[in-house]
Amino acid sequence: MIDPFVSADWLRTHRNEVIVADVRWYLDGRSGRVAYDAGHIPGAVFVELDTVLSEPHEDDRGGRHPLATPERFAGGLAKLGIGDGDTVIAYDDAGGVIAARLVWMARAIGHEAALLDGGLAAWPAEDLHTGAPRAHPPATFTTVPWPRELLTSIDEVATTSSVLIDARDADRFAGGAPDPVDPRPGHIPGARSVPTREHLDAAGRIATPERLRARFAQAGVTPGTPVVSYCGSGVTACHNLLALERAGLGPGRLFPGSWSQWSRDPNRAVATGADAG
């Protein structure tokens, strides 16, 4: 399978062999689609996090971004013209921590997909296009169940012997202030803080495999260690899973409900304070 991170030079070389996907989304409520319209990589399609990669829901008790059903995911990509044989290169403007959700989901069911290393900033600004998404004819994307071995539930997390890594920023992990979007601050007891944005350099490019292995080792993750990744709502946790794969430590498992689910259950204990590891 293709490496989970590819360079802009790689994309230029293979541009006619792949479909590029823009997966911008903002926690502060700004519109990813408006940002796409203002400037995107030529030919990119826009993939909605909330409607293609997440399952619509009435409340957040199951998490703010519940994993889309296989049917929703397959149907959403097919409508955009992404089919079974297509390689998808996804990007955002946040170092890939949002677009990682699409890449992880596709790779989980055996599809070729990768993040554009450096994201939108890696592409020349003068070559960006504006306006509506490129029209692709509908494609056939076969519905495939999510592999059970790559996911974990809230009850499984509560009793897991795996290393539990938290992809959120360290301050949200510590919980010293009210959480900006979830009801309780802090982290799941026993979790280790591995902020996924700290895998990136100033240009938003992913660290080397050697550097990633060193960072994960600090959290107790070495070859053969079972790992569960979570974040606020199961999105940036996917970036940690792709980083694990790049480091040769994958595949790891995703807790889709993440902190948004855990913190809404009053029966779940909460820990606060910096990572003591």
215 within 8 A of 199, measured Cβ to Cβ: yes
**Residue 30 φ/ψ, nearest 5 degrees:** -60, 155
Which residues does 67 contact at the CB level (< 8 Å), separation at least 6?
Answer: 54, 55, 105, 146, 151, 234, 254, 256
199 within 8 A of 219, measured Cβ to Cβ: no
**Catalytic one among 8, 94, 200, 231?**
231
d(CA 32, CA 22): 9
Whether 231 is a known active-site residue: answer yes
Nearest to 53 by CA among 31, 24, 16: 24
* Residue located via tokens 């993750």: 221
**Residues classed as catalytic:** 231
